[in-house]
Amino acid sequence: MHYFEVTVKKMSNQVNTIAIGLSTTPYPYFRLPGYHENSVAYHSDDGRKFHNDSDGGVTYGPTWGKGDTIGCGYRPKNGVVFFTKNGEDLDVAFRVLQHTWYPSIGTDGSCELEVNFGDSDFKFKRARGYGPGSPLLSEHHRSFVALI
């Protein structure tokens, strides 16, 4: 499994949507994840999931915003993509998606996000030790703050 989490620290009044998910390369910088071919995402404004879809997505989970932590996981053996909110599993979002995926985050306004690539302090406890770069990361905490 590969997994990462994003915590929303601040949102400006102009932010309508934050999208967290996975995409392949190259990916157009001007499209939110989930909207373009070979991308998936969970969107903050309506709680919908998107896969190659800019036409409205599919009902999936609750909305989210400032103070929430959203996780994105991928199980390459069966192509399952799932999301979490504040450490709670939201269940499978997509099945049988076999790509070389990259963590992807997009927003339509400015915000401050903390991105955690593992390992010991994931809110989703079953993912502790797993990150996007290797099957098991046991000694390194990898995170950064992104101002988008």
- The angle at the Cα of 119, spanning 115 to 122, to the nearest 5 degrees, equals 65
Per residue of the chain (148 residues), give pLDDT as tens.
899 999 999 998 888 899 999 999 888 989 999 999 999 999 999 999 999 988 889 999 999 999 999 999 999 999 999 999 999 999 999 998 888 899 999 999 999 999 998 766 899 999 987 765 544 333 333 444 444 4
Spatial strand order of the sheet with 48-51 comes to 58-59, 48-51, 39-43, 18-23, 102-107
pLDDT of residue 131: 67
DSSP state of 134: S
pLDDT of residue 145: 41
Q: Which two tokens stand for residue 35?
A: 């909207």
CA dist., res. 144 & res. 77, Å (int): 28
CA dist., res. 1 & res. 81, Å (int): 10
CA dist., res. 139 & res. 132, Å (int): 15
In order of their start, the domains of the chain are 2-147 (2.60.120.920)
pLDDT of residue 119: 64
Asked if 73 and 127 touch (Cβ cutoff 8 Å), the reply is yes
Give which of 73, 68, 70 is closest to 97, Cα–Cα.
73
pLDDT of residue 13: 84
pLDDT of residue 139: 37
Say how many Å lie between the first and final Cα of the chain, rounded.
Answer: 27
